C-alpha cells in the first residue's frame, strides 16, 4: 500500500510523484488533504486550519505584504493513469500537470522558506474540477474571506511556466427562435422555428472576435454555439428552437455588460442566461504583482493573458489581483497521457523561491 505521508523536504520531483499517487478525484480528496494537513502541521512557522478538505497554512511575520499561493487538490476521474511513472524527464499520471506539480511547488516553499520577505497564505482546496457550487475556494470566499486576504495571489494552475494574467469571463445563454406548429404536410400553415434559428447561426458566423488589451495584456474573445435543440416529431413543424451560446469575454467587461452585449447581438430573440462567471483583471500594475513579474519573468518566460476562466476570478472579486503560474502544460490537462516536465517543476520552484526570499 502506498504511504499517505508526504516528505516536504524531499526533491520536488519526488514530492510531485508522491502527491500524484494519492488518488484524489473530485469529492474524494480526503486522504490527500489529510496528508497535506499532517505535513504542514509539523512546520512550527505555520498556522494551519482545515475546512472540509481545504487546508490553509499561514505565516504571521508582520511583513508589509501578504501573498496567497493557491492550488486545488482534486483531479478529473482516473483513466488508467495511476500510479505515476517516470519516462526520461517526464512524470506521467493523473493530475501531474493539472495541478499536482504546482501543489508540490507550493508545499516545498511552505516547508523550506520559513522566513519569507512577504507573509504567505498557502491554500490547498477541494472540488475545482466539478460544479462551481462545490468548489472549495468558492466556499472559503463566501464563509472565510479573512483566510484569503492578500495584496496579490498566485494560482498554481498549469501555464507551462509562463505567467498568465487574470482570466476571461464566461457566460452561457439560451437564444430561442419561436415559430408556430403545423402538420409537415401543410407546412405553410405554420412557421418553422428551426429555420428561423438560422438567423442566430448567421449572427455567429459573422461574428468577428475582439481583442481587448487590459493592463497591457491582449485577450481574445469568443462567441460560439455549443448546443442546439429543436423539434417535436417527424411530422410536425417545430414551434421552438434553442441555440445555446457560450461567450468568452475579456476582463474589461462586467457580467452585466457581457449580458447587455449578448442581448444587443441577439436583438429580436429571447435570451436567457443559464450560467456565468466573472472575468478577472490581471492587476499587473499593483506593486506586489509587478515585483512578482520582475522576479519570475526571465529567460523566455512570457507574460500573457489567460484565455480561459480560472479561480483567479474569485480573488479578483475579493479585490486581490492574481495571476496563473505553474509548471504543467495546460494542453495536456485531463488527457490520459497527462505528464509534466520535471525540469519545469524545479525551475518554477527556484523562481518563486527567489521571489519570496
DSSP bridge pairs for 48: 57
| Residues designated as active site | 74, 128
Antiparallel, parallel or unpaired: β 66-72 and 119-125: parallel
Integer Cα distance of 355 and 357 in angstroms: 6
Those residues with Cβ within 8 angstroms of residue 251's Cβ, 6 or more apart along the chain or in another chain? 166, 167, 168, 169, 214, 219, 279, 280, 281, 282, 316
Rounded-to-5 percentages of helix, strand, coil across the chain: 35, 25, 40
Kindly state the helix (H) or strand (E) to which residue 339 belongs, with its residue range: strand 339-341
Those residues with Cβ within 8 angstroms of residue 130's Cβ, 6 or more apart along the chain or in another chain? 26, 27, 74
Amino acid at each position: 500500500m502506498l504511504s499517505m505521508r508526504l516528505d516536504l523536504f524531499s526533491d520536488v520531483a519526488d514530492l510531485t510523484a508522491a502527491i500524484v499517487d494519492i488518488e484524489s478525484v473530485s469529492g474524494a480528496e480526503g486522504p490527500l488533504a489529510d496528508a497535506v494537513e499532517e505535513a504542514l502541521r509539523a512546520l512550527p512557522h505555520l498556522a494551519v486550519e482545515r475546512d472540509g478538505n481545504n487546508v490553509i497554512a499561514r505565516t504571521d511575520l508582520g511583513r508589509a505584504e501578504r501573498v496567497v499561493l493557491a492550488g486545488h487538490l482534486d483531479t478529473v476521474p482516473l483513466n488508467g493513469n495511476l500510479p505515476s511513472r517516470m519516462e526520461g524527464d517526464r512524470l506521467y499520471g493523473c493530475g501531474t500537470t493539472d495541478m499536482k506539480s504546482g501543489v508540490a511547488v507550493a508545499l516545498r516553499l511552505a516547508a523550506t522558506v520559513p522566513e519569507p520577505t512577504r507573509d504567505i497564505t498557502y491554500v490547498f482546496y477541494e472540488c475545482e474540477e466539478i460544479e462551481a457550487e462545490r468548489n472549495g475556494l468558492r466556499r472559503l470566499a463566501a464563509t472565510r474571506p479573512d483566510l484569503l486576504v492578500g495584496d496579490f495571489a498566485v494560482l498554481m494552475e498549469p501555464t507551462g511556466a509562463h505567467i498568465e494574467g487574470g482570466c476571461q469571463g464566461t457566460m452561457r445563454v439560451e437564444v430561442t427562435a419561436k415559430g408556430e406548429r403545423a402538420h409537415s404536410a401543410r407546412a405553410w400553415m405554420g412557421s418553422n422555428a428551426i429555420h428561423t434559428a438560422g438567423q442566430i447561426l448567421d449572427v455567429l458566423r459573422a461574428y468577428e472576435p475582439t481583442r481587448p488589451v487590459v493592463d497591457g495584456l491582449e485577450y481574445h474573445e469568443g462567441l460560439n454555439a455549443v448546443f442546439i435543440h429543436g423539434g417535436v416529431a417527424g411530422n410536425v413543424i417545430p414551434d421552438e428552437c434553442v441555440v445555446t451560446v457560450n461567450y468568452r469575454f475579456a476582463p474589461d467587461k462586467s457580467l452585466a455588460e457581457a449580458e447587455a452585449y449578448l442581448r444587443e447581438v441577439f436583438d429580436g430573440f429571447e435570451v436567457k442566461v443559464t450560467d456565468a462567471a466573472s472575468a478577472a483583471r490581471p492587476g499587473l500594475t499593483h506593486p506586489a504583482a509587478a515585483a512578482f513579474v520582475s522576479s519570475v519573468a526571465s529567460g523566455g518566460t512570457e507574460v500573457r493573458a489567460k484565455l480561459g476562466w480560472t479561480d483567479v476570478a474569485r480573488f479578483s472579486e475579493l479585490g486581490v489581483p492574481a495571476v496563473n503560474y505553474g509548471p504543467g502544460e495546460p494542453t495536456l490537462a485531463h488527457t490520459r497521457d497527462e505528464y509534466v516536465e520535471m525540469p519545469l517543476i524545479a525551475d518554477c520552484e527556484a523562481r518563486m523561491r527567489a521571489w519570496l526570499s
